[in-house]
Amino acid sequence: IKYRNAETKDEEAVLQLLRDHFYPDEPLNKSKGSHDKADEDFAIGTIKHGLCTIAEVFDASHPDGYIVGCRLSYPSAREDVEAEEPKTSPPTTDFEKIVAFLGMLEAKSNVFQRFNVEKIAQGHMLSVHKDFRGKGIAKQLYVENIELARKLGYPIYVCDCTSLFSAKLCEKLGMELTATMQFDEFADANGNAYYQPPPPHDFARSFALRL
Ligand code: ACO
């Protein structure tokens, strides 16, 4: 398995990996059972920023490589986040809901003020092909992606974890827990939770690492 920076030529293959192996299993999407094109477009749109890492397998049937994992991250600037208008109406589309959920978690962790920085490497998605799980690929994707962010000069690396598995990895890698959020804190006006992920995913967590 080789790890390298994702390039725009990888966009289609990464999208296929997400469709087959991220959306069906990631706790929020699994709970909701659907995702929309805006979600895919945002995910794939992160690659052009040069802050994403992929894991590639080379074998007899795939001499040119086959993408089995990705860690998508993107640059986030304090001035942009602080300039965002607070939403006044409830989210309606699948992507708006995910953005609102992550927005609540990120507001709790408040990394720009907490660490007094102007920019961060914001982790977005972590995905490993079902047949390749349990081999440490996700861990190595984090290690490589953190190193990439460090080389690019980001002072802080942020991971929002909706999965207990990715949260455990963040702990193992020595990241600092900056926020926790119960899944049912994110609910509609009648108090009905938008997401009810299955066990063992207990709650969402955000982590940060000083680079
Ligand atoms: N059941 C129990 N433990 C698991 C499972 C599982 N299904 N999957 C991973 N783990 C544990 C591993 O045992 C390991 O812990 P250990 O070191 O104590 O043994 C740890 O999680 C990570 O192991 P890796 O082998 O590095 O992880 P893997 O390559 O299997 O990928 C991932 C983990 C990315 C979460 C994968 O299961 C996946 O793609 N899931 C679907 C998408 C998803 O949920 N992504 C994370 C969402 S949050 C985010 O994007 C940051």
Ligand 1 in reach of 73 Cβ (< 6 A): no
Residue 141 is classified by DSSP as H
How many helices (H) and strands (E) are present in the chain, helices listed first?
8, 7
ipTM metric: 0.93
pLDDT recorded at residue 28: 96
pLDDT digits (tens, 9 = 90+) for 120-135: 999 999 999 999 999 9
Q: The domain containing residue 200 runs over which residues?
A: 2-210
Mean pLDDT of the chain: 97
Partners of 156 in the β-ladder:
210
Tell me if 72 CB under 6 Å of ligand 1: no
In CATH, what number is assigned to the domain containing residue 63?
3.40.630.30
Tell me the C-alpha distance between 33 and 154, whole Å: 35
27 CA distance to ligand 1 middle (Å):
12
Q: If you measure from the C-alpha of residue 155 to the centroid of ligand 1, how many angstroms do you get, rounded to a whole number? A: 26
Could you report the per-residue pLDDT of 82-94, keeping only the tens digit for each?
Answer: 999 888 899 999 9
E strand residue ranges, the chain: 2-5, 53-59, 62-77, 119-128, 156-161, 176-181, 204-210
Atom 44 of ligand 1, residue of closest alpha carbon: 26
Tell me the CA–centroid distance for residue 3 and ligand 1, in Å.
17
| CA-nearest residue, atom 34 of ligand 1 | 127
Is pLDDT at 170 greater than 90 in this prediction? yes
Using CA atoms, how far apart are residues 158 and 126, in angstroms rounded to an integer? 12
Count of structural domains, the chain: 1
At 60-72, the pLDDT tens digits run 999 999 999 999 9
Is residue 162 in contact with ligand 1, taking CB distance under 6 Å? yes
- Ligand 1 atom nearest the C-alpha of 24 is 41
Query: In testing the pocket of ligand 1, which one of 133, 142, 175 has its CB within 8 Å of the most ligand atoms?
Result: 133
